[in-house]
Amino acid sequence: MPFLAHAPNKYAAAGPYPEIKVVSSNPYYAELLMDDYAGFASEFTAITQYLYHHYIIKNKKIAELLEGIAITEMHHMELLAETIVLLGGEPRIRGAFSTWGHYWNGCYIKYGTSVYDQLQADIEAEKQAIANYRYRIMQIDDPYIQKLLERIIQDEELHLVLFQEALRELPCLNRQSIVR
């Protein structure tokens, strides 16, 4: 599905996403991408973590930020699912190597006890995603997939900046407060 079906927003980097295609079927590459899709540090983990934080944070501006970024992460998950299928894989909600092939688990989320803790966890999640995608680009010798992952990294870098800005703007008094 083209991303234009999903309204462009301020939580995605400027520019289009590349067409989803692969050089050829490759089940190993599909398994590698499963970790980014629904493994321990994955799009699915980011989506559920950010939505959980969105649900319980009182600060409307931060809650909106979390929801907007989660929606962009959903698009990444969709792009990865389409790529996994083209590679001959099946995009079930599981990782591969990071989870020993087990299905996704809610214990992967960093729930946090304060807005400060949660934003710190979200910043770490974005840093990990960027590192994982850079490593995946080195592992996968397919220029189409590499181009897709490079584009996703642009979004993750934007998310990192947005979370860091939100953390800096958080009043000192609220840093220790328990959410709701």
Domain range annotation of the chain: 25-176
If one looks up domain 25-176 in CATH, what number appears? 1.20.1260.10
Each residue's pLDDT tens digit, 63-114: 999 999 999 999 999 999 999 999 999 999 998 888 888 999 999 999 999 9
The one-letter amino acid at 25? S
Each residue's pLDDT tens digit, 12-58: 999 999 999 999 999 999 999 999 999 999 999 999 999 999 999 99
